[in-house]
Amino acid sequence: MPSDRRLRPVWAGEAAAPGGAAVQLSLDEVGLPLSDVTFVVVDLETTGGRPSDSAITEIGAVKVRGGEVLGEFHTLVDPGGPVPPFIQVLTGITTTMLMGAPPIEEVLPAFLEWAAGSVLVAHNAPFDVGFLRAAAASMGYRWPGFRVADTVKLARRAVTRDEVPNYKLSSLAAFFRATTTPSHRALDDARATVDVLHGIFARLGPLGVTHLEDLETASDPVPPDVRRKRTLADGLPDSPGVYLFRGPRDEVLYVGTSTTSLRNRVRSYFTSAEKRTRMVEMVRLATRVDPVPCATPLEARVRELRLIAEHSPRYNRRSRFPERMPWVRLTSEPYPRLSVVREVRDDPGSAWIGPFASMGAAQLAVEALHEAFPIRQCTKHLPLRPAAGASVCVLGEIGRCGAPCVGGIEQGAYDAVVGAVRAAMTADPGPLVERLATRIRTLVATERFEDAAAVRDRMSAFLRGATRAQRTAPIARIPELAAARRTDDRGWELVLVRHGRLAGTARVGRLDDPMPVIASLRATSEHVPAPVAPASAAHPEETDLILAWLEQPGVRVVDVAGEWSCPVRSAQRVNPVAAVALDLALPRPGARVEAELAPVVPLRPARTA
């Protein structure tokens, strides 16, 4: 079983130095260098090709690190039955040889303990690892979750078919001049696989595969010019933060974020894990990566948004211009109307929903309100008294508008319509949802599916805009809110929010008092002027991130200046109810669907701190 066998082959990527010492070449300090990784190269012999109807007859393994063989593990295994004749011919292992050998129940625990903490390597790894996993499962053992490297896949990356006829172990061992010839015996094959592994490392080293993280993706081809740029990740911190890829003129090409490790996230751009064509193009242009370490994951996400808005990187697709995001406004004139605007202004008589991702989405929300309520759709300013010579429009003639332009509706009656619109926008969209859902059902019943889909899209756009405004307005009015959340290490993640903008954040250890840190944040954090609600003082997506963080389980509001609450019958509450109507799926022509709205019930009470 385990034994010591000390050899000193030259490690792949090393050169022999005078005096016999080895000198490491081309390895940087990012990640775990292959020379520091402990590999256990394993080979099995079995009675067949599938774990379901076959058993292990021999285990051979070699433990290596940095080109040095640290030890070997070898044993025959009693399979609990006879060895098939063709297996005896292939391996030379007979049923008689296995008499008195230990069963797998004794061998596997010893092997797993011996191999613990290493990377398993095998030639055609799914076969060998599959048998080991099946044996562990049959014994009720939890598989340790080894990292696994397959020399077949790695060889396909390192050796061309012009050099070897195939990727069998015997062919590769001959190509790399292995010191042991494969013989279909476990230990001999494992020793040969070690030499093949070292030969593969020597081939892949110039391609940038010098660390364990590279090895895990090396079987998938990565353009050499992309892999060589992995040095851009040198020295990046292993912490949350934001990274900026810069181009040859120092311009910002791309801004990204990592909530765990900047180093690992940036390294992924130089491996096969990155499959986006635009990102590969960006990496080819990049000349350096600037890190911005952050105290918390929330700070990283917020800084990413701010840097994208500041630099407008050409390779970022996210929203860059919050000032261009439209709002739907209910005006404050004598006969109010709906309009799409770019800015929330200080007008006490107005109501707002949004912001929307596009003008098209905002216009859909306006159409939803027009379809549900007979508010006027003309755009001109109307006086309290109709102008001489005014004439009614088509919508007034068909009863879709009260026609205040010609005195067709009294001021009080029109005010009631405006009040219903205002309530749907700012408090309770239930009447709008009920009316549009009834319209959807009618259209579906007559198989007018495209028209029903249009109504559904208008309702969905309205609900998204109303939900955003109703969630944002309360926090936008709060001058300061301090909150805390337990971290995985039992410390605290602290957040200070002012008018919906992240003003400061910090982390404290589990043994530290968070209150002095909160006091320090209050004293030193950014001053944020009050915005015009429902717009916050930040990018809309930043406020969305903050609200999502505050709504996490376990978040504690430490202090709040003012009231933080939302309408009980809000658009956010209606969204799941409206989903029945929105998800009619509007079937293929010829199909029929019947749907009823679920009862309108509060999903959560108002929250007041």
Q: Mapping DSSP to helix (H, G, I), strand (E, B) and coil, where does residue 40 land?
A: strand
Average pLDDT in the chain? 84
Average pLDDT over residues 517-533: 93
Does pTM top 0.75 for this prediction?
A: no
List, for residues 293-318, the tens digit of each pLDDT value: 999 999 999 999 999 988 989 898 76
List, for residues 255-295, the tens digit of each pLDDT value: 999 998 999 899 888 876 677 778 888 999 999 999 999 99
pLDDT of residue 352: 94
Indicate the DSSP class of residue 3: B
Distance CA 435, CA 431 (A): 6
Q: With pLDDT > 90 as the criterion, what percentage of the chain qualifies? A: 60
More confident: 161 or 37: 37
* Residues ≥6 apart with Cβ < 8 Å to 106: none
**pLDDT confidence tier of residue 217, bands split at 50, 70 and 90:** low
Average pLDDT over residues 138-163: 90
In this predicted structure, the answer to whether residue 26 has a pLDDT above a threshold of 80 is no
Beta bridge partners of 483: 495, 557
More confident: 145 or 384: 145
More confident: 62 or 13: 62
In this predicted structure, the answer to whether residue 321 has a pLDDT above a threshold of 70 is no
Average pLDDT over residues 70-81: 95
List, for residues 401-413, the tens digit of each pLDDT value: 766 766 667 788 8
Query: Which 3-state string (H, E, C) describes 9-38?
Result: CCCCCEEECHHHCEEECCCCCCCCEHHHCE
Range of lowest pLDDT (65-69, 225-229, 479-483, 516-520): 225-229
In this predicted structure, the answer to whether residue 181 has a pLDDT above a threshold of 80 is yes
Average pLDDT over residues 457-484: 94
More confident: 390 or 532: 532
List, for residues 479-515, the tens digit of each pLDDT value: 999 999 999 889 999 999 999 999 999 999 989 999 9
Q: For this structure, is 499 an active site residue?
A: no
In this predicted structure, the answer to whether residue 98 has a pLDDT above a threshold of 90 is yes
Range of lowest pLDDT (152-156, 275-279, 444-448): 275-279
pLDDT of residue 414: 87
Interior/surface letters 342-371, b for 16+ CB within 10 angstroms, e for the rest: eebeeeeebbbbbbbeeeebbbbbbbbbbb
**pLDDT confidence tier of residue 394, bands split at 50, 70 and 90:** low
Average pLDDT over residues 169-190: 95
Encoding tokens for residue 598? 């679920």
Torsion angle of the four alpha carbons 549, 551, 553, 555, in this order, in degrees rounded to the nearest 10: 70
Nearest to 432 by CA among 372, 377, 352: 372
Beta bridge partners of 244: 255, 290
**pLDDT confidence tier of residue 398, bands split at 50, 70 and 90:** low
pLDDT of residue 226: 82
Query: In this structure, what are the phi and psi dihedrals at residue 343, rounded to the nearest 5 degrees?
Result: -145, 140
Distance CA 315, CA 443 (A): 43
More confident: 596 or 567: 567
Average pLDDT over residues 39-51: 95
In this predicted structure, the answer to whether residue 607 has a pLDDT above a threshold of 90 is no
Range of lowest pLDDT (3-12, 33-42, 55-64, 195-204): 3-12
Distance CA 243, CA 256 (A): 5
pLDDT of residue 567: 75
Average pLDDT over residues 432-449: 91
pLDDT of residue 15: 35
* Residues ≥6 apart with Cβ < 8 Å to 596: 580
In this predicted structure, the answer to whether residue 603 has a pLDDT above a threshold of 50 is no
Catalytic residue, chosen from 123, 184, 311, 499, is 184
Range of lowest pLDDT (103-107, 144-148, 179-183, 225-229): 225-229
Omega before 534 cis (within 30°)?
A: yes
pLDDT of residue 514: 92
